[in-house]
Structure 1
Amino acid sequence: MRLAFEVHRATEEKIDVIDALTRRTRVLSLNARIEASRAGEHGAAFAVVAQEMSDFASEVAQLAAELREVIATNTEQIRTAGEDLAHNLLGARYADMSRNVVEIMDRNLYERSCDVRWWATDSAIVDAAGSTDRSVHAWASERLATILRSYTVYLDLWVADINGKVVAQGRGGRYGGIIGQDVSRSQWFRRALETPSGDAFAVCDIARERLLEDAAVAVYSTAIRRNGDTQGTPIGALGIFFDWEPQARDVVQNVALTDEEKTLCSIMLLDAQHKIIATSDGNRRLGEQYELGVRDPRRGFYRRDDSIISYALTPGYETYKGLGWYGCIESKVQGIETAAQARRATG
């Protein structure tokens, strides 16, 4: 594109020179005809030459005008094709990066699904769910607190008995008043009891939990089964509360973009209803509805006003199928060439 614009600029300069020469030729031709007229019969032959000079100047001027139009048209076509190519390359690149964003998040959440299934078989957790002894509950709370000292991605871990009463938690010192709470109507508890075996788990969409200071959480849960057996009868439920906002913010803010690109792009995670659940853009709110025009259900990009919208559906990870979330990057068209230069500068 730069070469095409340079050719256009150089051609315009040369055509301007031709136009100037043409004007001078016409002036000379006019002066020659005047002098031929003064010479009378003796200047007749020179008048013919002057007319030929005038006709030649007109032909050159016409040729220059046509050349200017052809060059301008072709340059515009090159510019349009070049911009389309640049936008398509960026759109495809950002669609790949969108998939990477949601895939990284799902790999993280897959580990959460492993955690909840594993911890639900711990003897202290199993004992607490099936007991009314407060010392048994206290021991389970200590076990949960030990887990939380290593797993800092969780706000809290709760054990509820079969009736939905919370009997143990890991962070009682930070979140008071949770022991004894009735969570039987909570989605995470009801879905945990519906799991068919100890190999299954439930996961809820991102929501704010009132009992955890209204923090945004991703809750993973499963049934606690008698004797910790995979096919045992449910005797309670374990809910683990993933600290969503800081973890998701790290994912969307650490996408491999140049500093220049980051000023032009908004990186987001969208849920299955296209609501924003994570964003690098401080002007957008969690829970805000985003107008995502899904064409290809798996991956794609398109132009909208002065932006390119790129997206990718979660591919899931291992046994975690995902919740139909999308990674999405909205990039401003303005400054694309500058961003491309920045990428070249950084190799």
Structure 2
Amino acid sequence: MGSVKSKDMSTTQIQQGKKFTLEEVVEFIDLIAEKLNSAIDKVDDVNHKTHVLSVNASIEAARAGTYGRPFGIVATNMSELSEETSKITDNMRKDTKEIINVGNMIKTQSKEFRGNRLTDLALVNIDLIDRNLYERTADVRWWATDSNVIDALTKKNQDACDVASKRLGVILQAYTVYYDLVIADVSGNIVSNGNPEKFPSRGLNVSDSRWFVSAMNTKNSGQFGFESVHRSSLVSNNLCLIYSAAVRENGDPKGQIIGVLGVIFKWESLAQTVIVHTPISEDEKKNTRICIVDDSGLILADSDGKMLRDSLDFDQKTSLLSEKKNHIFIEYCGLNCCIAHALSPGFEGYSTGWHSIIIQKLGTAKKAKLVK
């Protein structure tokens, strides 16, 4: 910003009809103001010398008496011209200040526009995720009442488990957003799954898993269990979310729990798709990091691909995440950045409680990478 090279490039780009951002317009206004002030300073310098020269000419004309009278007339004219020039440069300085004020106003408005736009984009991202994941809660509660699932946990024989596996396989063919569907008994032993060829999880124990424990603690069929983004050994260590529901005796909404159905969701397929398709230009993408984080700042989805391997931490993080929707301009990782935020708004009573973050570089405060 402000180097000779960048100024030359700005002029060339204008001549080529390039479209400019508001920030680039402000930069060019600053450049114009700088050049005007430089030109005015030069005029003032010449005018000062002219004024000194006219004073000296007047003195010499007075000493010469009658013979110096013509020089006195010239000196007077030079003095009047100098005064007129001073008035002109004063007015030019005022006009230049007005140009600078306009630039500052545009700068303020452009920052606010950028912040609001990125915040709106962040909100759209987390809203899309909330809406999609709400469907997962409906899926698991519905399928937990399937008679084949109930039979596998009630009859407890190989045939019933095989039938349930085929039924779950049919569901997987229709709902490609899942890696697998698994049925566990009350002890946490997986008795059947829908994709045994790819994920041979039957016989594994999941009694310590959050999704299993949370489902076992539900009071009725309207509730569900959940485990946040993690890498699961049930699906070859892929990143996933697991939604779960208690399977109840005879499908009774308040019946005794006889096991748990878990649906293993392909997290990256949703989250990374949302992030990749965030509607910003290719030029912006080079300077932008788009994330989904939990309350601690742990990255759950990331345009830099550092899911579960990185956490966001910056000044004012606590206050930023405490609000529903906002943005700040701070130095982050050595760069002047706009950090936009939107809290999960929820959908139909369901909310992930996560945060959508967009970090966009505005300029370099010092040489450093945007990522942590």
TM-score grouping bracket, smaller chain normalisation? 0.7 to 0.9
- Provide Cα deviations, 1:229-263, integer angstroms capped at 9, x if missing partner: 11111100001110111221101111122222222
CA deviation profile, 1:183-207 (whole Å, cap 9, x unmatched): 1111111110111111111122111
Shift of 1:264: 2.6
Alpha-carbon distance in 2 for matches of 1:179, 1:41: 120
How many angstroms apart in 2 are the aligned matches of 1:286 and 1:231? 37
Please tell me whether residue 133 in structure 1 is matched to residue 157 in structure 2: yes
Q: Please name the residue that 1:266 is paired with.
A: 289
Q: Which residue of 2 aligns with 1:345?
A: none
Moved more, 82-91 or 41-50: 41-50
Give the aligned partner of residue 353 of structure 2: 324
User: What's 2:191 paired with?
Assistant: 167
**1-structure distance, mates of 2:325, 2:141:** 32
How big is the shift at 1:15? 4.0
Aligned runs of 1:255-294 on 2, under 5 Å? Answer: 255-282=278-305, 284-291=306-313, 292-294=317-319
**Which of 287-296 and 90-99 deviates more?**
287-296
Change (3 A) 1:293 1:48: farther
Moved more, 198-207 or 44-53: 44-53
Matched residues in 2 for 1:31 and 1:66: separation?
24
Identify the residue that residue 299 of structure 1 maps to in structure 2: 325
Conserved 8 A contact 1:15-1:64: no
Q: Is the 8 A contact 1:270 1:325 kept in 2?
A: yes
In structure 2, distance between residues paired with 1:54 and 1:286: 76
Number of paired residues?
A: 331
Q: Give the TM-score taking structure 1 as reference length.
A: 0.85
The answer to whether the 8 A contact 2:239-2:266 is kept is yes
1:237 aligns with 2:263: no
Residue 80 of structure 2: aligned partner? 56
Give, in angstroms, the shift of residue 37 of structure 1.
Answer: 7.0
Partner of 1:142: 166
- The answer on 1:224 being equivalent to 2:224 is no
CA-to-aligned-CA distance 1:131-181 (integer Å, 9 cap, x gap): 3211101110111111111111111111011111100001110012x1111
- Within 5 Å, which residues of 2 pair with 1:15-26? 15=40, 19=44, 22=47, 25=50
Query: 2:33 touches 2:100 (CA, 8 Å); kept in 1?
Result: no
Judge conservation of contact 2:36–2:96 (CA < 8 Å) in 1: no
TM-aligned CA distance change 1:304 to 1:16, over 3 Å: closer
- Report how far residue 64 of structure 1 moved: 5.4
Q: CA RMSD in A?
A: 2.9
* Pairing partner for 2:113 from 89, 100, 104: 89
Structure 2 length-normalised TM = 0.79
Q: Does structure 1 conserve the Cα–Cα contact (< 8 Å) formed by 2:188 and 2:212?
A: yes
- Say which SS state the counterpart of residue 112 (structure 1) adopts: helix
Give the corresponding residue for 1:152.
176
Using the alignment, how far apart are the partners of 1:166 and 1:129 within structure 2? 10
Whole-Å separation in 1 of the counterparts to 2:99 and 2:177: 55
Kept in 2, the 8 Å contact 1:19–1:64? The answer is no
Q: Which secondary structure does the structure 2 equivalent of 1:200 belong to?
A: coil
- The verdict on how the C-alpha distance between 1:299 and 1:133 changes in structure 2, with shifts beyond 3 A counting, is same
What stretches of structure 1 of length at least 5 have no aligned partner?
A: 336-347
Q: For residue 112 of structure 1, what is the aligned residue in structure 2?
A: 136
Q: Is residue 2:100 matched to residue 1:76?
A: yes
Q: Please give the per-residue CA displacement for 1:259-285, whole angstroms capped at 9, x wherever unaligned.
A: 222223221111122211111224x44
Structure with the greater relative contact order (CA < 8 A, sep ≥ 6): 1 or 2? 1
* SS, match of residue 333 in structure 1: strand
Match of 2:225 among 197, 202, 227: 202
Q: Structure 2 CA distance, aligned partners of 1:98 and 1:5?
A: 31
Q: 1:53, CA displacement in angstroms? A: 3.8
Rate the CA distance shift 1:249–1:53 in 2: closer, same or farther, 3 A: same
Moved more, 218-227 or 253-262: 253-262
Give me the whole-angstrom Cα distance separating, in 1, the residues matched to 2:330 and 2:30.
Answer: 27
Tell me, what secondary structure is at the counterpart of 1:294?
Answer: helix
